């Protein structure tokens, strides 16, 4: 199934799953040297965010800050990050924010209508376990 | 005190939206709003409905009555025990608009286009008045007779005979080509 990093914005990587090279171009003739800073891989990015939301004593501010920052990125978060965030909402006894997060990622998908159903499919076990209804279940996806 | 006059927040047409946005849920006046005009206290956490920032600094409804409070208590237990209505109520306590409500189309474009046409109309009237009252009489060289004589003179002088003016005149048959 599609990896959510596929939907990263174009500025982040030269190709979707390229290894970081010292120089950006493939042909030595046209080689340009970008910064030699280490580029974070998709897995590292995902792991970092999962860890962030997995903090057992996460507080409401950290949840807000994390979600707002994550939504600010040019990508749709992986299901595992969202799973971690939804569990953080559970620890904070905040159902409304959990539903809001689902709305937000649906909006982030933009014109790609197949991302959100995929996310919900992947999150289904968590949604059932925690008792989170999707906006569609509650009829909140209509005006 | 950090104040933000509501007039400065948002454009003319969305003042009502801004008013709704900054209204504390249950219309409870908080401490120092003794001014006549509504001002937003920027030193307090604000609520917002933004697509790109899903979780605002404070919940929509700050002041909870007893039903709300008991619902919040129930929220601490398993969410599977909550009914759909309760879940919706919890959402509405914390947030004002859902994402589809935030993204609803407005009728603002009609106002804009209407305003544009009104301005064009007024400009048109101004131009008409100006044509009548401001412009001096046309020079005599614009008259039909003068123009005819001018064209004849130009043909007699063979103005641009190769590719231009006189090239279009058939001198033999005394007519335009």
pLDDT in tens, B93-105: 999 999 999 999 9
pTM: 0.69
Taken in order A91, A92, A97, A99, the sign of the CA dihedral is positive
Helices A79-91/A60-72 angle, 10° precision? 160
SS3 at position A17: coil
For residue B104, count other CB atoms closer than 10 A to its CB: 10
Catalogue all structural domains in chain A, each as residue range(s) with its CATH number.
Answer: 2-33 (no CATH), 42-142 (1.25.40.40)
Query: Does the distance separating the beta carbons of A94 and B75 come in below 8 Å?
Result: yes
pLDDT at A138: 96
pLDDT at A33: 76
The DSSP result for chain B, as a single string, is: --EEETTTSS-GGGHHHHHHHHS-TTTPPPTT--SSS-EEETTS------SS--S-SS-S--S--HHHHHHHHHHTS-GGGS-HHHHHHHHHHH-SS-HHHHTPPPSHHHHHHHHHHHHHHHHHHHHHHHHHHTSPPPPGGGSHHHHHHHHHHHHHTTSSTTTSTGGGEETTTTEE-
B100 and A140 Cβ atoms separated by less than 8 Å: yes
Give the integer Cα–Cα distance in Å for B79 and B86: 10
Look at the domain B45-104 and name its fold. Cytochrome C Oxidase; Chain D (1.10.442)
Q: What is the CA radius of gyration of chain B?
A: 35
Residue partners of B33: CB distance under 8 A and separation at least 6: B39
The domains of chain B are located at: 45-104, 108-135, 143-176
Which stretch of A97-101, B6-10, B136-140 has the lowest confidence by average pLDDT? Answer: B6-10
A129 alpha carbon, distance to own chain's centre: 21
Show the tokens assigned to B59: 């919940």
Length of chain B: 177
- The dihedral region occupied by B27, where left means phi > 0, alpha psi between -120 and 50, and beta the remainder, is left
Q: What is the pLDDT of residues B20-34, one digit of tens each?
A: 554 454 444 455 455
pLDDT at B14: 52
Give the residue from chain A lying closest to B94, CA to CA.
Answer: A96
Query: Does the distance separating the beta carbons of A131 and B81 come in below 8 Å?
Result: yes
B75 close contact with A: CB closer than 8 A: yes
Which stretch of A3-12, A117-126, B165-174 has the lowest confidence by average pLDDT? Answer: A3-12
In order of A49, A57, A84, the CA distances from A45 in angstroms are 6, 21, 14
Measure in Å the smallest separation between the Cα of A118 and chain B Cα atoms.
19
Which stretch of A10-19, A58-67, B29-38 has the lowest confidence by average pLDDT? Answer: A10-19
B88 close contact with A: CB closer than 8 A: yes
Query: Does the distance separating the beta carbons of A94 and B94 come in below 8 Å?
Result: yes
As a whole number, mean pLDDT of residues A19-38 equals: 64
Q: What is the dihedral of CA A15, A20, A21, A24, to 10 degrees?
A: 40
Give the integer Cα–Cα distance in Å for A62 and A49: 12
Q: What is the pLDDT of residues A78-102, one digit of tens each?
A: 999 999 999 999 999 999 999 999 9
Q: Which residue has the tokens 């020079």?
A: B139
As a whole number, mean pLDDT of residues A25-44 equals: 78
Q: What is the dihedral of CA B169, B171, B173, B174, to 10 degrees?
A: 70
């Amino acid at each position: 199934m599609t990896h959510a990093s596929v939907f990263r914005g174009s500025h982040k990587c030269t190709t979707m799953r390229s290894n970081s090279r010292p120089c950006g171009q493939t042909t030595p003739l046209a080689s340009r040297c970008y910064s030699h800073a280490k580029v974070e891989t998709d897995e590292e990015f995902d792991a970092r965010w999962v860890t962030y939301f997995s903090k057992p004593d996460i507080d409401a501010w950290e949840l807000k800050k994390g979600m707002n920052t994550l939504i600010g990125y040019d990508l749709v978060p992986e299901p595992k990050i969202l799973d971690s965030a939804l569990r953080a909402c559970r620890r904070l006894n905040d159902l409304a924010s959990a539903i809001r997060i689902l709305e937000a990622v649906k909006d982030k998908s933009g014109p790609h209508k197949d991302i959100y159903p995929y996310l919900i499919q992947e999150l289904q076990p968590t949604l059932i376990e925690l008792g989170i209804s999707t906006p569609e279940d509650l009829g909140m996806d209509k005006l | 005190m950090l104040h933000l006059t509501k007039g400065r927040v948002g454009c003319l047409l969305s003042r009502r939206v801004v008013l709704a946005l900054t209204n504390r849920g249950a219309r409870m006046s908080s401490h120092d709003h003794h001014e006549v005009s509504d001002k937003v206290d920027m030193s307090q956490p604000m609520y917002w409905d933004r697509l790109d920032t899903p979780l605002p600094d404070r919940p929509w409804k700050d002041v909870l009555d007893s039903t709300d409070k008991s619902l919040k208590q129930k929220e601490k237990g398993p969410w599977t025990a909550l009914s759909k209505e309760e879940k919706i109520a919890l959402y509405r306590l914390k947030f004002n608009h859902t994402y589809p409500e935030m993204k609803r189309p407005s009728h603002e474009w009609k106002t804009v286009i209407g305003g544009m046409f009104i301005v064009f109309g007024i400009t048109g009237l101004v131009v008409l008045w100006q044509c009548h009252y401001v412009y001096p009489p046309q020079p005599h060289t614009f008259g039909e007779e003068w123009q005819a004589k001018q064209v004849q003179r130009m043909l007699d002088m063979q103005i641009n005979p190769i590719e231009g003016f006189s090239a279009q005149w058939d001198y033999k048959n005394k007519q335009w080509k």
